[in-house]
A and B are shown apart, each in its own frame.
Chain A
Amino acid sequence: MPLDLEKMEGDIFTSKGMVKAEFTFWVGLAMDKFYDGTTDQKFIGTKCSKCGKVFLPPRNRCGDCFAKAEEFVDLPGTATLKNFTITPWKITERRAKKGNKNALVGLVQVDGADSAFMTEILNTTEDKLEEGMKLKVVWAKRIKGHPQDIAGFEPVGGA
């Protein structure tokens, strides 16, 4: 159900916003390396020492094998679209809003990785999206070692 945040304004006791305390999350060695990589516009994943699965974003262990995954692997900027959705909703930890424009959201598996992550699909249109299509990364204009270094992915060879 769409949120009616307007209605909540009228409540007698309204605690503004979600938790506003500044939390710090230590990203860990694997993600630290990952963000070193994005700073250089490169993907760095990790490989499980037992089953050989490659994780991107990386993590230092494989949940299935319960083994270390500390070997870093360089991965390319090309990927496959595994799944997608088209949504006018933008939901953050502070607000949920239905916008006028649709976002194309893809579940993207970088070539050589066994995991996939959600990211925006750029420079194409809704009707062109298809599972299995080949994509390449679009880096943000301003790189700062942050998840948003990845602006999104676009079709290989243009839309």
Chain B
Amino acid sequence: MERIGIVGYHQVRPELDLQMSPYECIFTAVRGALDHAGLKRKDITTVISATNDYYDGKTISNCFKVSAGGAYMKDESKVEMDGAHAAQYAMFRILSQNHKLAMVYGFSMPSCMPFECTRILELDPTFDRPISLMNSYSTCGMQMRAYMKKYGVSEEQIAEATATNWKNAAKNPLALQEAQKADMTAAEVLKSDYLASPLRELMYPLLGDGCTALILAPEKQALKITDNPVWITGVGNCQETYYFGERDLTTSLSMEKASEAAYKMAGVKPSDIDVAELFGYTACEDIILAESAGLAEKGKGDSLVAKGCLNPSGGATSGMTPCATGLNRIIEAVKQLKGEAEEHQVSGVKKAIASGQIGFCAQNNIIYVLEGGN
């Protein structure tokens, strides 16, 4: 595959209740990404967004975002999944050789919609939805129970990894302010109420309003824009079954397949990866995804969090903006490769992975292999 360069990006810092209209928020991210790359709107030929009609309270919600997203009179489309999926769509547009520069953005404002209720609308309307027992909390709780039981992992270990995520968020200047908990301890995590046992309130991320934009370019174009691009050298995605009761919750089969494909495309091995920014809802899910991506032995993934090479930004715990969280993971990996992550910089990062997901307990995963240097 021809290398695709990430040449610019901008993340609006998420807030619990952002004092911007949706369109101001999107404009800030997209304008910011253009300025970051030193480009103009006219340079962009295709705009791909990740938003969700239910989150936006509008059907075909992208049609109202044309001017804010820089898409006026341009090739434009939308993915109703994670921003990381929109980035793949943008890659396709570039690899088709019809486009030189692609703008990707992911946006939502969970302060304006009942996010946990919209997840019920993901369920099978002929059975699971009327029963209304399956939701983010109950599924994450069962996933955690299954994982702990199979590998003899304790609640304390998960709480420790969770506390590290909150502490990492404190070092991330783009984390939600309320998620920056420099003094968090495992004991405090374990004192919080159950959302759905063994999952506790402090094990679930805070939701933040926000928008993240990313500019992709083919190799030749990327090198004209910057002498220091980060390259996408591999990508893979995989969809598991919807039927929750048939899934092995102790692992992520979709992440196994997706990462295999991405590594193969990039010609790398899991042992080559220096840092991982993965989108798990919980620290437990981060760990499961990292193990499934081959970074640690099954049941031992919490060591990656302790070592600091899994979600040094705090991951989704640093603030979860539905539709933008996967793009945030990509940006964080890019910063690590460029040595721009400041306080949460991991030293000597040459290769990184970043992932996005959609569905209960990451039914679908998409993963990127990213490499620096020109």
Contacts and interface: CB of A to CB of B under 8 A. Distances in A.
B114 A5 contact: yes
Contact of B245 (A3, A28, A96, A109): A109
A128 to B, nearest CB: 14
Interface in A85-124: 85-96, 103, 105, 107-109, 114-120
A1 B207 contact: yes
Contact of B116 (A3, A15, A119, A147): A3
B205 interface: yes
B228 interface: no
A86 B194 contact: yes
In terms of DSSP, what is the predominant structure of the interface of chain A?
mixed
B137 A89 contact: yes
Chain A: interface size category: 35 or more
Contacts of B207: 1
A25 B125 contact: yes
Contacts of B149: 131
B199 A85 contact: yes
B57 A15 contact: yes
Nearest to B123: A93
B175 to A, nearest CB: 14
B241 to A, nearest CB: 6
Given A87-B138, A89-B196, A94 B117 contact: yes
B126 interface: yes
A89 B140 CA distance: 13
Given A87-B138, A93-B117, A116-B245, A1 B204 contact: yes
A95 B131 contact: no
A77 interface: no
B246 A96 contact: no
B134 to A, nearest CB: 5
B221 interface: no
A147 B127 contact: yes
Contact of B128 (A5, A63, A109, A117): A117
Contacts of A2: 201
A91 B133 CA distance: 7
Contacts of B244: 107, 116-118
Contact of A92 (B120, B205, B206, B249): B120
A65 interface: no
Given A25-B126, A116-B245, A117-B127, A89 B117 contact: no
Contacts of B374: none
B357 to A, nearest CB: 18
Contacts of A37: none
A93 B131 CA distance: 11
Given A3-B114, A8-B112, A96-B114, A89 B131 contact: no
A11 interface: yes
A27 B145 CA distance: 32
Contacts of A28: 126
7 contacts: A5-B114, A7-B111, A31-B127, A55-B243, A85-B198, A87-B197, A89-B196
3 closest A-B pairs by beta carbon, nearest first, are A116-B245, A85-B141, A87-B196
Interface of A: 1-3, 5, 7-8, 11, 15, 18-19, 23, 25, 27-28, 31, 55, 57, 63, 82-96, 103, 105, 107-109, 114-120, 131, 146-148, 150
